[in-house]
Every structure is written in C-alpha cells, then in structure tokens.
Amino acid sequence: MDRTCTTFYLEMTASAELREKPQRPDLQIVECEVPQPELNRFLYALVGKAWEWGDLDRWSDEQWREMVEQDGHRTWVAYHRGAIAGYYELYRPDGRNVEIRYFGLAGAFMGLGFGGPLLSHALRSAWNWPGTSASGCIPVTWITRPPWPAGNQGSVSTNCASSAA
C-alpha cells in the first residue's frame, strides 16, 4: 500500500529556545555508554513498530555496529518501573551540529506524559554535548498531516539532512 509521507525538519539554533518539561521522578533516563548494536536494533524495533519505521529493517549486524560505534553517535534509554519506556539517539557527524536521529516511546507508554520530559532530556543532552553549536535538527515524518496547525511548526529547515541510511 503506497502512502504519501512528508518529512518536516524542526531545528533549534539556541539552547535558550528550549522550554523544558520537568523530569518525572518515575522516569529514569540512562545513557548507554558502551555501544551495543543489538540493543539499538531492539530499541528501534520496539519504538518504531507503532510508527511503521522500516528503513533499517534490512540492515546487517555489521551496519548496525558501524552506526552505533561511531564517535558521533550516542544512545539513551528511558525506564519506567524497570520497563523500557522509550529511547533516543543523538548523532553529530560534523562535531558541531546534533541531530536527534531516532526518538520515541514504546507503545505501552504513549499518552502517559513521558514524551515531553524525554524530548526535553534529549535536547538538553544535545546542547550539553561539548562542542555543540546547533542542536535539535529533528526529522519528523508524518504519513498524513502533522498534529500542529498549518504555519505553526516552529523553525522549519530544509538544510538539515536526515542521516539515517
């Protein structure tokens, strides 16, 4: 079944633009400091299922390893009561500009108030990454229309390129 998708690029150019949602005490967000390609593959499938992500479904173990072990790649996992509630990946290919490569919640945790705090954490982590000069280029793809009114997307940038291969 063919679908029309539109990808919007939301860009944050200054940390002062961040309007953080408070971190919830029942949500622990932990960076995976030791790269584990198998974990990233699992998280991608867990979170991406609800959104029909599939661009990496055919990747080999070697391709996952190459992506996850890059110096400019970092992963965080969000836990609620011991269960994986969501995750995000940051990618900084040029040493200055950070992209939120993948971000989302597991299906059971959608609509429970975890998304805002997790996104705030992702953006704060991007800005706190030493050497960052621009942050938060977030490729957002909608199969139908975005959930915001026309003309209300914030900064829409066409100069950010999605780095997912």
- For residue 156, what pLDDT band results from cuts at 50, 70 and 90? very low
Of all residues in the chain, the percent with pLDDT exceeding 90 is: 53
pLDDT at 3: 60
Computed over every residue of the chain, the mean pLDDT equals 81
pLDDT at 148: 45
Q: Domains of the chain: which residue ranges?
A: 6-142
Q: Cβ neighbours of residue 49 under 8 Å, at least 6 residues apart? A: 107
Model pTM score: 0.80
Query: Rounded to an integer, what is the distance from CA 28 to the centroid of its chain?
Result: 16
* pLDDT tens sequence across 104-120: 999 999 999 999 999 99
Tokens of 43: 């998280």
* pLDDT tens sequence across 33-72: 999 999 999 999 999 888 888 889 899 999 999 999 999 9
Does 121 score more than 90 pLDDT?
A: yes
Tokens 């919830």 -> residue: 24
Q: Distance (Å, rounded) from C-alpha 122 to C-alpha 89?
A: 8
Measuring CA to CA, which residue among 92, 101, 164 is closest to residue 127? Answer: 92
| Domain 6-142 = CATH 1.10.760.10 | no
- For residue 162, what pLDDT band results from cuts at 50, 70 and 90? very low
